[in-house]
Amino acid sequence: MKNLIKFLLFVLLVSGGISVLYDYRIKTGGLKFLAVASEKYSLAANASVDPKDVAGLENLNRERRALVSSVVPSVVSIKTSRKVAVRKQYQLDPGDFFNRNPRQFRNPNEEAMVQNSLGSGVVVTSEGHIITNNHVVDQVDEIEVQLSDGRTKKARLVGSDTVVDLAVLKVDEAGLKPLKFGDSDAVQAGDFVVAIGNPFGFEETVTDGIISSKGRPNRVDGFGDYLQTNAAINPGNSGGPLVNLRGEIIGINTAIISRSGGSQGIGFAIPSNSVKTALESLLKNGRIIRGYLGIQARPTTQGVAETDGVIVDDVVANSPAAEAKLKRDDVIKKFNGHTVRNITELRSLVAQVELNKKVELELVRNGNTLKVSAEIKEQPADYLTSRNNPRQPQTPQQPEDQQDQPDETNPLVSVEVAEVNADVVKRLDLPNRIRGVLVTKVDGEAGELRAGDVIEEVNQQPVTSVSEFKKVVASLDPNGTQVLSVCRHRTRSFVVVRPR
């Protein structure tokens, strides 16, 4: 015990000595590096700009906040998952024969992998219906919706349409706030817009911009052309709303043109009028019902500037056009009171007409103006595969020594493609009902086209086979710019290809 007391006293004496020495060194400057002198500082007391001088911008800030805060509660994040069977690349350990569950023993080289993906959506009914893109929820096992307050709900798929790329979900939750549809026909280039969504998993991301253009051609559907915007749209924004100053939906964001995979200021949205028509059709009928006239047409361009109207190139037998006595070379000027400016506009007008409704067409035939009545029927199921494509001009036969020589100014001639079959769809995780050709090799410059892309359309012309792709490419202007509709990793976008 005495030894313990002596040891404690020794420790106390040593500690006291060290403390005295430390204080002495500080007072004499021996440990100056430990002494921190306070720095004098003065923060700015006033803003550099008087709020009175930017009253307009302050009002703009408040108004933009009010717009965003009123819209965000209606926007949801969509998270999906699906199980995919994958083959193991390693050999089975013999010990697994004794440890494996008998139910798992049937195929030891196969296991399930869960794939997750993200998207956006918007509440459009008080009952909890949500609009999104079809490619966001195509072929998934589970759909989960995250509301703006952080709650997550399981959602069920009510209906979808691959061609127009829209899907309707339903969550059983009371008190959701739906957004109103605006009139996309009234939208003009230059109008202010806001895009809200879930890009790269960042929920409730808000970007703004303007309407850059209207009437950009849709991928394969005549149901409605795209709105173009410079509001930043990135992967994960798909299915989210594009809204106007009144907080109304004027479009559903669906595609981009990009070299990097992210936003480069060129995004596309399905117009709200087309979305609303598709929504009502899906809810009432379980599918989208498109109106059908039954003509092949070409633009009214005769070596000069294009004028309003479309020329009837052919009339499909037993179609509404045939019953209305339309003839080849008729020029359709008006449809149901709307001026027809081009082929895509006519397709959109026809597709959205109520079935079995009689509409009036104003024609020019042999220089004379006349009016006829046509009763719009439902578009046949196979119509999109043989739909209205302008006839390609016949080119003179080349001399034998010039045949089969590649056009060096057209980059698409060096693109090698293959058919899209069930194995390709599964291996690349593509939408189940995709139609197009698979890019297998790209030699030289072909824009941002990559091996593994599926080309669905070239300059608005659907390509559903290798032979069809080669035929379309052969008919292209080698000095022109081509726009390809491409599906890459379940994301649809556009690729621009310019001549060499």
Query: Which of 120, 129, 161, 165 does the annotation list as catalytic?
Result: 165
Residue 93 is encoded by which pair of tokens? 């350990």
Query: Which of 77, 117, 120, 135 does the annotation list as catalytic?
Result: 135
Residue 165 designated active-site: yes
Q: Which residues contact 234 (CB under 8 A, 6 or more apart)?
A: 199, 200, 256, 262, 263
Distance CA(455)–CA(432), nearest Å, equals: 15
Q: Which residues contact 18 (CB under 8 A, 6 or more apart)?
A: none
Residue 238 designated active-site: yes
Q: In this structure, are strands 129-132 and 110-123 parallel, antiparallel, or unpaired?
A: antiparallel
Reference 492, options 209, 163, 92; nearest CA is 163
Residue 329 is encoded by which pair of tokens? 């070379």
**Would you give the DSSP letter of residue 446?**
B
What's the Cα-to-Cα distance from 128 to each of 121, 170, 196, 373, rounded to whole Å?
12, 6, 19, 40
Q: In this structure, are strands 377-378 and 415-419 parallel, antiparallel, or unpaired?
A: unpaired
Residue 120 is encoded by which pair of tokens? 């956006």
Q: Using an 8 Å Cβ cutoff, are 300 and 308 in contact?
A: yes
Query: Which of 77, 184, 238, 485 does the annotation list as catalytic?
Result: 238
Residue 460 CB neighbours (<10 A): 17
Residue 149 designated active-site: no
Reference 426, options 157, 119, 139; nearest CA is 139
**Distance of alpha carbon 482 from the chain centroid:** 20
Helix (H) or strand (E) holding 349, with range, is helix 343-351
Residues marked as catalytic: 135, 165, 238
